[in-house]
Structure formats: structure tokens, C-alpha cells
Chains A and B, each alone.
Chain A
Amino acid sequence: MILFVIKAGRAAALKALHFTYGKSSPVVASRGSFFLPLTIFILLSITFILTEFHSIADAREINVPDDYSAIQSAIDSAVSGDTILVREGIYSENLSVDKPLSLLSIVGAERTHVEANEAERPVIILRATEGVTIRGFTFKGSNAAGIFLYNVSAANINGNIATGNHTGIRLEHSTGNTVTSNTTIENMEGITLAHSNKNTLNDNIASNNSEKGILLYYSNDNSISKNTTNDNLWNGITLWSSHRNSVSDNVSVQNTYAIVVSDSKDNLLSGNREMRRIYYLLPVVLIYIAALLYLIEKKLFFLYYSRKSKGRQA
């Protein structure tokens, strides 16, 4: 349709040019002295705009499993700017994306699962690309990572679930990506940023992981806000050799340590709700201490007032 419009526009423009400077009648020429150049200008503008945006207008939608049974086949056949729509189901694949495209599930992460076919590889790896969108999948079963971004920029990772992997979401040597509203539970590490700068981690859940919730190392100028990192075996949020990061309004409860900043400088920590697991036991410990102190205090008072009463009697 768009190609037809482009072709029609071009043909009309050529015809108008031919008409103006070729076989124009005196009547038309006198009447059209104003209208014809305007028509030509408009048609040429439309043609130019449509030609300029040809690549965008040409972006396709590929449906899985309607067009391709495997998601990777759809990715391989897609060109930059294409959108791959995936229906609900369980897909046993290791995906690799190296071009800017959108990979979206139709019904959401709860019912669209991608499981690692080879456990040693990430379930999905984005490599050396930019502007990729991954939304609404459950990635699981990798000893590497659920979602792995390597040398990626301006990607949008949104509304995914990563569970049962070594690392839920891992960014390595990646810059300016947005990771929002993802859930990374029951991995070894929830979300890890390694040598990655200027990324945004917002509104994610990184809980019940067997090591750390969110881990940054050698990563600078990142924004980590409104994330929930509860019930991780070690730290909720860890900054190690990472500088100038903003860590704000996160909830970090029931971890061994809530937020750990080590060998890092100029990080801004504000409005985080932290509570170490051990502090829940504090009132119980205090009750025991109080009972013990009561017995000691009672003994002391008893001795003092017994002697006092004896003194009076004497």
C-alpha cells in the first residue's frame, strides 16, 4: 500500500513536471500559474517524506508460531525495526539477538515461557546491538543468565520474569539500557551489572535469590530506584567498585545485609527502606535480657532493703 502511494506520488510529480514544462495549454498555464507549482511542491514533499521513511514504513510484524514455529527463526528472518509477536506457550530455545528489533509476547510473561535448550548458554543473549525491546517473557533454566546483554545500548527490558537461572538479568559492557518492571526470583543472582554504565533499573523485583538481589561491579552512573530486593540469602543491593550511582526508594528487607557499598565512592543513597533479617529477633533477645536483668535487680534491691530493715530492727 505504502509502496503504491510512493510510486503514485512519484508518477504524479513527474506528470505534473511534464505538463508544466512540456505540453501546457495557455489556458491551463495562466490558471495554473499558482496551482501547478504548489501541486508539484506538495507531491514532491509527500514523495520525499515517504521515500525518507521507507525503511520505517517497511517494518514488519512477524508472528510466532504462525509465521515461524521457533522464535529464533523469526529473529533470523527479521530485519532492523521489525516486531516479533509471540503467542503463549513454552519454547525450548536459546535466543540470540544482534539487530534492533522488538520481541514481544502477546499475553504476558506468566504464559509465555522460554526455557534454555542448552543450560550452559543464556536463555536470551543480546549482543552488540542497540534499541532492542524485550517484553513479557519468562526466561528460565540457564546456568549462565536468563537475559544477557553484552555490549548493548538503549535496550528496553520490560515486564519479564527470570527464574531458575544463575543470573536473572545480566548486563555486561552495556550502556544506557532501561530495565523496568522485571521479576528475577530464585536465581543465584537477581540482576547483575558488570562494567555497565548509565543504565536505569526501575521497579524491578529481585527477591528470593540464593546470593544477591542486585549486584553492580565496575559500573558507574547507573540509576537504581524503586526496586524490591527481599529475602535474598546475602545482600539486597551490592555496589562494589562502582561510582556515582543513584540508589533511591528501594525496599530491601529480610536479607543478611540490605545495601552494601564497598570500594565505591560518590554514590547517592536516599529513601531506601532497609531492614536486616537479624533485627526481627531483637525484641525477643531484649525480652530475655530484661528477664535476666529483673532477677539481678531484684536480688540487689532485696539485699539492700533487707540490710536496711535489719539495721532499723537493731
Chain B
Amino acid sequence: MDIKDAITILASIGFICSIITFIGGFRMVRKTDHHGEPQMHKMNGYITVIVYVMLATLAVSLHFKVLLILAWFIGFCVHLFKLFLVKKGLAVRYGGYMGGMLLIVWLVVIFTHLPK
């Protein structure tokens, strides 16, 4: 297994986490009684951000390009903005859109990290 395979596996884990987080967040918005769902959503969310940062570090260290750094940074900003909205109590109103955006970010990540 070389570094490219490792990146693909890591990207896959991140993608899975982002989907789980998205489903959890979506259900939290709709449902009122939930046992442990906010904690689950929070945990998956933080794992997703950590995986994202790891991937970004690996990708930039392999190919140091300004555009690449910019793309990863924009993706990271989307994550941060989502967190910001949640902290401001706007999760119910805008959380769904932001979650969708995060899912799109992760789709781009997974497609760009397919084995090449």
C-alpha cells in the first residue's frame, strides 16, 4: 500500500463520517426527542474535520501548489462556517444548507482522491 492508497482510504473515512454527520444533523433538526444524537453528530463532525485537516496536510505536502492550498482552505472555511452557524444558534435555519455544502465538499474530495 503506497501513500496514494492511504489517502484514498482516509478520504473514504472522511466521506463516510460526513454522510453520517449529515444524516444525524438532518434528523436532529426534524426530530425533538433524541437519545445521544447530538453527541453522535458532534463526534462525527469533529472526526470529519480532523480527517479533512489530515488530508489537506498530506495533499499539500505531496504537491505544493498555491491553487491546491486555496482549494483546501476554502473547504476548511465551509467547515468553520458551519460550526460558526451552530454556535450562533442558526443551525436549524441554515444548518441543512451548510450540511449539504459540506457533503458536496466531501464529494469533490473523494472524487479527486480516487486512485489515479
Binding site for B on A (CB under 8 A): 273-276, 279-280, 282-283, 286-287, 289-291, 293-294, 297-298, 301-302, 304-306, 309
Contacts and interface: CB of A to CB of B under 8 A. Distances in A.
A280 B114 CA distance: 8
B15 A298 contact: no
Contacts of B23: 290-291, 294
Given A283-B107, A298-B36, A305-B35, 5 more contacts: A275-B115, A279-B114, A290-B17, A293-B16, A301-B36
B116 A305 contact: no
Nearest to B27: A298
| Max count, chain A CB within 10 A of own CB: residue among B12, B15, B116 | B116
Contact of A286 (B12, B37, B39, B44): B12
B37 A290 contact: no
Given A286-B110, A297-B40, A306 B35 contact: yes
Contacts of A276: 115
B7 to A, nearest CB: 13
A283 B114 CA distance: 9
Given A282-B114, A283-B107, A290 B35 contact: no
Interface in B4-42: 12, 15-17, 19-20, 23-24, 35-37, 39-40
B19 A294 contact: yes
A309 B35 CA distance: 9
A275 B12 contact: no
Given A294-B20, A294-B24, A275 B110 contact: no
A294 B22 CA distance: 10
Given A282-B110, A283-B110, A290 B16 contact: yes
24 contacts: A274-B116, A275-B116, A276-B115, A279-B115, A280-B114, A282-B110, A283-B110, A286-B16, A286-B110, A290-B15, A290-B16, A290-B17, A290-B23, A291-B23, A293-B16, A293-B20, A294-B20, A298-B36, A301-B40, A302-B36, A304-B36, A305-B39, A306-B35, A309-B35
B16 A301 contact: no
B111 interface: yes
Interface residues of B, number: 20
A248 B11 CA distance: 27
B30 to A, nearest CB: 14
Contact of B19 (A291, A298, A304): A291
Interface of B: 12, 15-17, 19-20, 23-24, 35-37, 39-40, 44, 107, 110-111, 114-116
A283 B19 CA distance: 11
A76 B24 CA distance: 78
A22 to B, nearest CB: 83
B20 A301 contact: no
A216 B20 CA distance: 46
Nearest to A307: B35
Contacts of A273: 116
Contacts of B20: 290, 293-294, 297
A287 B23 CA distance: 11
A275 B112 CA distance: 11
Contact of A275 (B24, B35, B44, B114): B114
Contacts of A309: 35
B31 to A, nearest CB: 11
Nearest to A309: B35
A282 B12 contact: yes
Contacts of A280: 114
B116 A298 contact: no
The 9 closest A-B pairs by CB, nearest first: A301-B36, A290-B19, A305-B36, A305-B35, A290-B16, A279-B114, A294-B20, A301-B40, A302-B35
A295 to B, nearest CB: 9
